[in-house]
Amino acid sequence: MDALLLHPTTIGGKLLLMVIAIALFALVMAAVLGLAQLPKRQTRGAAAAVFLFPALALVCFGLIYPALVTIKNSFYDQTSTSFVGLKNFATILSSPEFLTTLRNTVAWVILVPLLATGIGLVYAVLVDHARVEKFAKTLIFLPMAISMVGASIIWKFVYDDRVGILSRAYRAVAGWLGAEDPTAPKWLMDAPWNTFFLMVVMIWIQAGFAMTVLSAAIKAIPDDIIEAGRLDGLTGVKLFRWVTVPMIRPSLVVVLTTVAMTALKAFDIVRTMQGGHFHASVVANDFYTQSFNNHDKGVGAALAVLLFVIVVPVIAYNVHQLRKAEDIR
C-alpha cells in the first residue's frame, strides 16, 4: 500500500499514482457537486458554500493558518518552545552578515525592476510596428519560459573563468588595450559587484515580461491621442516622454511592482549560481538556509515575517486599486 499510494519508486508506479490522484480528485469533486444538487430549491448561501468550500479550505490550511503560526514562531526560540520576544529580530538586525544581505535585497528590489522595465519599455517602442515585431519579441520573451535554475546555469557558463564568453571577451579587450597577461574578475565572487552580476540574470528573465505588458499598453493608446500630440508639434523622444509614458503609467506601475515582488521572493538564482556566499545572499535565500538547513525555526520565521512586511504596502496598494476599479464599474 505504501509503495502504491505514498512512495512509488518505479516510473510505472509514479505515473499510476498520478492517475489515481487525478481520478480521486474528480471523484471527490463529483461527490461535492452532487451534494449541491440534492436540495429541490437551492438557497444561495448553500450553493455558494459548496462552490467556495474546497478552495477556501485549502487556502486556510495551506496559507492562512501556517502564516499565523510563522508569525507566532518569529517570537519563539529555535524549536518554537519558549517565548523570546523580539530576540530573533534583534539577532538578525545586529548581525553584519545579515545587514549585507538586507542591503543586497534592497538593491535587487530597486534595481531589477527599474532596469528590466527600462529595457522592456525601450524594446517595446523599438519593435512597435517593426516588420520583424513578432520574431524580435519572441527572442526577448523566451527566457520567461526558462526556469530560474536553467537561467542560472546558462549565465554561470557566461561567467565561467576559463571558457565563459564574458571572461574571454574581457581578456581579449584588456589584451588589446595593452594589459600584460590580463585576468578577468571573478564575476560571481568579488563583492559587492557579484550581486549585480546575479541581478543581470533576473533582468534578463523579466525584461520580456515588462516588454510584453508595456507593448500591449502602447498599442492600446488611441490613435487620435498620438495624432493630437503630433499636431502640437511633438515628435520622437518628446512624443514618447509627454504622450506615451503618461498614457501607459498604470501599466508601468503594475510592471514595476510585479517585478519587484518577484525579485524580492526569488532565491533560485543566488542559490544555484553561488549558494549565497561571498556576501551576495538575499533575504529569501537566508530564509531557506535558516529554516531548512540550520533548522532555526525562530530566525527563519523572523526572516519570513520580514519578507511579508516588505510586501504589505504593495498589498495595500493593490487592494486600493481593486476597490477603485469596482467603484468605476
Partner 1 sequence: MSGIQAAPAAVTAGSGRAGAGRGDGIGGGNRGLGGRAARAKRNLTSPWASGIAIGIGLLWSVPTFGLLVTSFRGSVKEIQSTGWWQALSPSNWSGFSLDHYRTVLSGSGTANLADYFINSIVVTLPAVVIPIFLALLAAYAFAWIPFRGSNLLFVGIFALQVVPIQVAMVPLLTQYVNLGLNASFWVLWLSHAMFGLPLAIFLLHNFMKDIPSSLVEAARVDGAGHVTIFFRVVLPLMVPAIASFAIFQFLWVWNDLLVALAFGGNTPDLAPITARLSDMAGSLGAKWHLLSAGAFVSMIVPMVVFLALQRYFVRGLLAGSVKG
Choices 90-98, 103-111, 176-184, 203-211 (CB under 8 A): range interacting with partner 1: 203-211
Does residue 182 interact with partner 1 by CB under 8 A? no
**Beta-carbon contacts of residue 310 (< 8 Å; ≥ 6 apart):** 109, 264
In the three-class reduction of DSSP (H, G, I as helix; E, B as strand; rest coil), residue 148 is classed as: helix
Choices 83-91, 97-105, 132-140, 188-196 (CB under 8 A): range interacting with partner 1: 132-140
Residues in the chain: 329
Could you give phi then psi for residue 83, rounded to 5 degrees? -70, 130
Map residues 70-89 to x or -, x wherever contact with partner 1 holds by CB under 8 A: xx-x----------------
Nearer to partner 1, 96 or 286 (CB): 286
Binding partner 1 (rule: CB under 8 A), the pick from 81, 95, 147, 294 is 147
Q: Which three cell numbers stand for residue 111?
A: 534595481
Give, in degrees to the nearest 5, the angle at Cα 110 between 105 and 114.
145
Does residue 321 interact with partner 1 by CB under 8 A? yes
Q: How many angstroms separate the most distant Cα atoms in the chain?
A: 89
Does residue 179 interact with partner 1 by CB under 8 A? no
Alpha carbons 234 and 126: distance in angstroms, whole number: 18
Does residue 15 interact with partner 1 by CB under 8 A? yes
Map residues 105-124 to x or -, x wherever contact with partner 1 holds by CB under 8 A: ------------------x-
Alpha carbons 36 and 44: distance in angstroms, whole number: 11
Does residue 267 interact with partner 1 by CB under 8 A? yes
CB of 328 to partner 1, least distance (A): 6
Give, in degrees to the nearest 5, the angle at Cα 227 between 140 and 242.
65
Bridge partners of residue 76, in order along the sequence: 83
Residues 284-313 that bind partner 1 (CB under 8 A): 284, 287-288, 291-292, 297, 300-301, 303-305, 307-308, 311
Which 8-state DSSP code applies to residue 328? H
Residues 204-263 that bind partner 1 (CB under 8 A): 204, 207, 209, 212-213, 215-217, 219-220, 223, 248, 250-251, 253-254, 258, 261-262
Alpha carbons 208 and 123: distance in angstroms, whole number: 9
Binding partner 1 (rule: CB under 8 A), the pick from 76, 89, 98, 155 is 155
CB of 35 to partner 1, least distance (A): 10
Binding partner 1 (rule: CB under 8 A), the pick from 47, 90, 93, 191 is 47
Does residue 199 interact with partner 1 by CB under 8 A? no
Q: Which three cell numbers stand for residue 43?
A: 438557497
CB of 232 to partner 1, least distance (A): 18
Contact 275/289 with Cβ under 8 angstroms?
no
Alpha carbons 262 and 105: distance in angstroms, whole number: 12
